[in-house]
Amino acid sequence: MKVIFSKECLLHDPPFEVLGGQRVPYFEKPERLTIIENELRSNGFEISEELDPDIELKEHILRVHSADYLDYLETAYETWVKQGGNEISVLPEAFPHVNLLKASPNVAQTTNAIARAGVSSLEFTSTVFELFRIPHEGLYCFDLSCPITKDTHKATLASLRVTLTAAKLLSSSALDSIFALCRPPGHHAMPSLCAGYCFLNNIAIAARFIQHTSSPDTTKPKVAILDIDYHHGNGSQAAFYDDPSVLYVSLHGENDYPYFTGFTDEQGSGEGEGYNFNFPLPRGTTGDDEYCETLQRAVAIVQKFEPAFVLVSLGVDTFIDDPISDFKVTTSGYLRIGGIIASIHRPTLFVMEGGYALESIGKNVSNILRGFES
Ligand code: Q9C
Ligand code: ZN
């Protein structure tokens, strides 16, 4: 399997995040990628650092994210420092919680007006921003795991370019699979919110990219997103919640981050009803057998959908020794997982998401890809 990679993805390197009420070293480290790169090289994978220069990133980003959010990501660090913020990173101190907005007469009036006008979630933050002119970092983020450093924006664009380069190669040639080895990850990123180490939703943008760049005389290809990261991909779910042309299926830890999404009754809305599937699995007890059994069920749903392409949110934070997660999948379990995904028999784009056990992350990722190929 061909692998796409870029050293620019390593530029995002915040010293810390706030987790469990403490300042802790940032888990989503650049080393994650170099360890995987080295392991894949020693397993004979072909790694290309040639990125497609012709892909207009902005045009594709705007199908998933709002224009003001994009401006924010581009200028946040500079603005923060200019206003006297520390030079380490941008990190919000307050968030416009829904109950805060409700209790503020001024804002409540406006949000009600927005609701009546039927403003979509893609435009909601932008509308609040336009009305109140609060260019506050809390408006664009929902947790404390997304510090924006001097080079975060550059790394984020590199991560997306790796993903779209891979998507283009997959959809324009006869490849049956390809791996986008990238970071920062993407599946928690919302239309106008960063969170969970994610800034731009790489896989959601890739799904739209494939649909919009496919030959105009064929019907818009159906895309399935299979999310095997330990955490629920709230951003990917949200991007296609009312869209029947993109199926979203996720296996994830029950009652864990991002806590407020990923329930079984989230099944899509409007025309998208019946095209969103969540499989929350118990923390502590989910090992190889339990995981693979549920993955088989998820794969059956993907097969029934008959997608033209399968996009896999590849996280290995389901690993038994992952420092922030709670499943018990083993290194050999990932061979099985790769094999089950291969049984879908569709062109497949793997996109790197989470996984934080540095000692095993290389072997675990390589086993998924090897399991897929064998
Ligand atoms: N109890 C990804 O894997 N905080 N993001 C974790 C765990 C945020 C994970 C708290 C984790 C985000 C792409
Ligand atoms: Zn994760």
Tens-level pLDDT at each residue, the chain (374 residues):
999 999 999 999 999 999 999 999 999 999 999 999 999 999 999 999 999 999 999 999 999 999 989 999 999 999 999 999 999 999 999 888 877 777 777 666 766 766 666 555 555 666 666 666 566 899 899 999 999 999 999 999 999 999 999 999 999 998 999 999 999 999 999 999 999 999 999 999 999 999 999 877 788 999 999 999 999 999 999 999 999 999 999 999 999 999 999 999 999 999 999 999 999 999 999 999 999 999 999 999 999 999 999 999 999 999 999 999 999 999 999 999 999 999 999 999 999 999 999 999 999 999 999 999 99
Residues having CB closer than 6 A to ligand 1 are 19, 145, 185, 188, 196-198, 229, 231, 256-257, 315, 317, 324, 353-354
Residue 166 Cα to ligand 2 middle (Å): 21
Do 220 and 211 contact (CB within 8 A), yes or no? yes
188, 231, 232, 252: which is the annotated catalytic residue? 188
CA-CA distance, 202 to 215, in Å (whole number)? 22
Q: Which amino acid is at 328?
A: K
pLDDT of residue 130: 65
Residue 112 Cα to ligand 2 middle (Å): 34
φ/ψ of residue 141, rounded to 5: -155, 150
Give 292-347 as a DSSP string: HHHHHHHHHHHHHH--SEEEEEE--TTBTT-TT---BB-TTHHHHHHHHHHTT-S-
3-state helix/strand/coil string of 3-58? EEECHHHHHCCCCEEEECCEEEECCCCCHHHHHHHHHHHHCCCEEECCCCCCCCHH
Do 247 and 302 contact (CB within 8 A), yes or no? yes
Residue 183 Cα to ligand 2 middle (Å): 12
Looking at domain 2-64+149-373, its CATH superfamily turns out to be: Histone deacetylase domain (3.40.800.20)
pLDDT of residue 100: 78
CA-CA distance, 2 to 308, in Å (whole number)? 19
Where exactly are the structural domains of the chain? 2-64+149-373, 67-140
Buried b (16+ CB within 10 A) or exposed e, 18-38: ebeeeeeebbbbbebbebbbe
ipTM of the complex in this document: 0.98
- Identify whether 188 is a catalytic site residue: yes
Ligand 1 atom closest to 187 (CA): 13
- Closest protein CA for atom 12 of ligand 1: 196
Contacts of 15 by beta carbon, 8 Å cutoff, 6+ apart:
25, 26, 88, 89
Ligand 1 atom closest to 229 (CA): 3
Local structure of residue 220 (DSSP, 8 states): P
